[in-house]
C-alpha cells in the first residue's frame, strides 16, 4: 500500500515537471514566433516529449498558448504579491512597486512579446480565463489599498484611480521594452543600456511619486 502511494506521488511529480517543462518551452517559442509561427513539433523536440503528450496536457496548440499566457500573468502578479506592500509605509510601498514593475518588464521580454501578440489577437485567448481576470483584479485591489493608506496618512492626494495609475506604471515599463529596437534606430539610444535603464527607472519612480503626493 505504501509503495503504491509513493509510486503515485512520483508519477504526479513527474507529470508536474513535464507540464512545467512544456510551458517553459512554449513561452520561449510563442514569444519568439507568435501564435501562428510557433510549432508544437518544436516545443515537443525541446522538451523530449510528443505532440500527443502536449495535447494531452493542454488540449490543443491554442490551449497551450492560453496556458502560457496565464503563466506569464501569474509570474508578474506573484512577484507583486511577494513584495508584501501592505506592510510598508505608503510612499515606500509605491516606490517599491514601481521599481519592481520596471525591473520585471526589463528582465522578462518574453512577457512583453506575448502580451503584444495577444493584443494582435484581440485578447481572445485570455477573455475566458478566470485565472487572468482574478490575478489582475487583485493587483488593482492592491493599488487601491495602497492609495487609500496614503490618503489616510496625509501623504497622497485623494481622487486617484488605481487602474489609471497601474496603466501609467506598466505602460512606461512595457513601452521601453516592446519598442526597444525601433527607439534604438530612431533615436540612436539603446533602451536596455545600463545607464539609460537606471535613468528611466529613477524617472518613472519620481514621476509617479510626484503625481500622487498630497499638496
The whole-angstrom separation of Cα 178 and Cα 194 is 17
Where in the chain are the domains?
Answer: 1-59, 69-212
Task: Compute the distance between CA of residue 70 and CA of residue 58 in angstroms, rounded to an integer.
Answer: 12
Identify the burial level of 155 via C-beta atoms within 10 angstroms of its C-beta, where 0-12 means exposed, 13-18 middle and 19 or more buried.
Answer: middle
User: DSSP string covering 32-52, please?
Assistant: HHHHHH--HHHHHHHHT--HH
From CA 69, how far away is CA 134, in angstroms rounded? 14
- Condensed to tens digits (0 to 9), the pLDDT of residues 48-98 reads 999 999 999 999 999 999 999 999 999 999 999 999 999 999 999 999 999
What pLDDT, on the 0 to 100 scale, is given for residue 9?
A: 43
Reference 85, options 157, 162, 177, 167; nearest CA is: 162
- At residue 146, does pLDDT exceed 60? yes
As a whole number, the mean pLDDT across the chain is 93
Class (C level, CATH) for 69-212: mainly alpha
Closest CA to 165 of 205, 132, 115, 129: 205
Which residues are 213's β-sheet partners?
156
Each residue's pLDDT tens digit, 13-39: 578 899 999 999 999 999 999 999 999
Question: How many of the other CB atoms lie within 10 Å of CB of 29?
Answer: 22
Tell me the C-alpha to C-alpha distance, in Å, between residue 9 and each of 5, 49, 142: 6, 21, 36
Task: Provide the pLDDT for residue 14.
Answer: 78
Torsion of CA 132, 69, 166, 77, to 10 degrees: 70
- Nearest alpha-carbon partner for 157 in 168, 142, 143, 147: 147
Say yes or no: domain 1-59 is CATH 3.40.50.300.
Answer: no
Amino acid at each position: 500500500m505504501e509503495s503504491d502511494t509513493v509510486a503515485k506521488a512520483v508519477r504526479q511529480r513527474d507529470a508536474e515537471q513535464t507540464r512545467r517543462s512544456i510551458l517553459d518551452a512554449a513561452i520561449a517559442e510563442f514569444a519568439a514566433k507568435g501564435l501562428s509561427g510557433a510549432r508544437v513539433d518544436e516545443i515537443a523536440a525541446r522538451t523530449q516529449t510528443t505532440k500527443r503528450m502536449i495535447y494531452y496536457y493542454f488540449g490543443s496548440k491554442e490551449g497551450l498558448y492560453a496556458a502560457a499566457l496565464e503563466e506569464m500573468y501569474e509570474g508578474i502578479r506573484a512577484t507583486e504579491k511577494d513584495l508584501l506592500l501592505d506592510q510598508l509605509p505608503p510612499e515606500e510601498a509605491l516606490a517599491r512597486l514601481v521599481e519592481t514593475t520596471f525591473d520585471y518588464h526589463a528582465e522578462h521580454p518574453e512577457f512583453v512579446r506575448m502580451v503584444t501578440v495577444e493584443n494582435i489577437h484581440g485578447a481572445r485567448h485570455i477573455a475566458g480565463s478566470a485565472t487572468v481576470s482574478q490575478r489582475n483584479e487583485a493587483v488593482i485591489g492592491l493599488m487601491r489599498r495602497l492609495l487609500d493608506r496614503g490618503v489616510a496618512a496625509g501623504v497622497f492626494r485623494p481622487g486617484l484611480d488605481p487602474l489609471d495609475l497601474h496603466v501609467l506604471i506598466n505602460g512606461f515599463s512595457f513601452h521601453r521594452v516592446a519598442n526597444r529596437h525601433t527607439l534604438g534606430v530612431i533615436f540612436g539610444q539603446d533602451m536596455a543600456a545600463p545607464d539609460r535603464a537606471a535613468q528611466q527607472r529613477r524617472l518613472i519612480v519620481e514621476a509617479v511619486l510626484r503625481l500622487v503626493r498630497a499638496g
